[in-house]
Amino acid sequence: MNVLLTGGAGYIGSHVAVELLENGHDVVALDNLHNSDVEAVNRVKRITGRDLPCYVGDGTDPELLDEIFTEHRIDAVVHCAGLKAVGESTERPLLYYRNNLDLLMTLCEAMDAHGVRSLVFSSSATVYGDPGRVPITEDAPLSATNPYGATKLFGERVLADLAAASPDWRIISLRYFNPIGAHPSGLIGESPNGVPNNLFPYIAQVAAGRREKVLVYGDDYDTPDGTGVRDYLHVVDLARGHLAAIEHLADAYGARAYNLGGGQGTSVLEAIAAFERACGKEIPRQVVARRPGDIAVCYADPAAANRELGWKTTFTLDDACADTWRWQSANPDGFTDRA
């Protein structure tokens, strides 16, 4: 299939591009480079030995989308583009609602105008809010505890209503748990702008000497070691979930959501210990106050994706730490070097 991949230069998008290209699909990438670097697309070409056009621009521009759908026979869309910082979303809610929802609806309008009605949507486990019980199944209650999570929740609702009104749409929303790691080649990985919000890129930068110590946000949660527990999955496994979804769409009318997670919980201290094994160094840390809005425990029940998409995680936490360390060591400043 010829797949339009929005956010194709991003952390998730670049890894999705590799899996699609390596499995015989063609990719047209679109990215506004707000939180990514076009070098990632060059690296995707190096990894796969295949070419992919990349449009630099915003998916909220209907004329750009019309140009892309006119220039290329697109069979399906994987929509990874969007703003994704939880903290920033609470400070700038209008920016997040405008951007993420406008992006999705403009894309769906362009798809419909060109008769393209197969879509994989990048959603998030944040649609579960503070889960009542774990592991979390797809029929768990949905709620949003921040504007970013709300844009994913509302996005899924827009798509469910679209599929109900137009039965020829085929839509899968993928609820990511916590993506970590980097492609084993060390050529692509997470390259956050500024100070990383998320745990793993922060640990990696401490290991590389770019940051002094890991601040552990609370050790008084009701968990085995008192620190927050999450479902960390390797980004290549996550990318393969998109491949499975795209290939499943062939006969999957309507709208469905699937958890993409490993199904087990890892604490902050366990994550740090795993990274110490990968880098062979001691990682300085300091326990500080809880981060506002954080929940204690969140991990997936991935049975539906296992059963219906034929997808499950294959990489271990230690694999992800080793791959992150290889990426961080070879690219200490992310994509700024043009090696």
Q: Kindly report the backbone phi and psi dihedral angles of residue 223, in degrees, each rounded to the nearest multiple of 5, phi listed first.
A: -135, 165
Q: Pick the closer one to ligand WQD by CB: 216 or 244.
A: 216
* Residue ranges in contact with ligand WQD by CB under 6 A: 84, 86, 124, 126, 176, 178, 197-199, 202, 215-217, 228, 230, 268, 291, 294
Shortest distance (Å) from residue 53 CB to ligand WQD? 27
Shortest distance (Å) from residue 181 CB to ligand WQD? 13
| Among 138, 167, 150, CA closest to 260 | 138
Shortest distance (Å) from residue 134 CB to ligand WQD? 13
Shortest distance (Å) from residue 31 CB to ligand WQD? 17
**Angstrom distance (rounded) from CA 251 to CA 169:** 11
Shortest distance (Å) from residue 140 CB to ligand WQD? 16
Helical segments of the chain, H only: 11-22, 39-48, 62-71, 86-91, 93-96, 102-113, 147-165, 199-207, 235-248, 268-279, 303-304, 317-330
Bridge partners for 120 per DSSP: 78, 172
Q: Pick the closer one to ligand WQD by CB: 195 or 250.
A: 195
147 vs 70, 83, 119, 310, CA distance in Å?
Answer: 34, 11, 23, 32
Largest Cα separation within the chain, whole Å, is 56
Cβ(230)–Cβ(177) under 8 Å? Answer: yes
Burial class (CB in 10 A: 0-12, 13-18, 19+), 323: buried
Eight-class DSSP state of 51: -
Sign of CA pseudo-dihedral 32, 36, 39, 44:
negative
Q: How many CB atoms lie within 10 A of CB 92?
A: 15
Q: Is 148 a catalytic residue?
A: yes
Q: Pick the closer one to ligand WQD by CB: 11 or 169.
A: 11
Q: Which of 11, 55, 96, 148 is catalytic?
A: 148
Query: Whose CB is nearest to ligand WQD?
Result: 228
Q: Pick the closer one to ligand WQD by CB: 216 or 309.
A: 216
**Angstrom distance (rounded) from CA 314 to CA 258:** 17
Q: Pick the closer one to ligand WQD by CB: 73 or 291.
A: 291
Q: Pick the closer one to ligand WQD by CB: 52 or 207.
A: 207
**Angstrom distance (rounded) from CA 199 to CA 192:** 12
In order, the DSSP letters of 246-280 are HHHGGG--EEEEEEES-S--EEHHHHHHHHHHHHT
- So which residues are the catalytic ones? 148
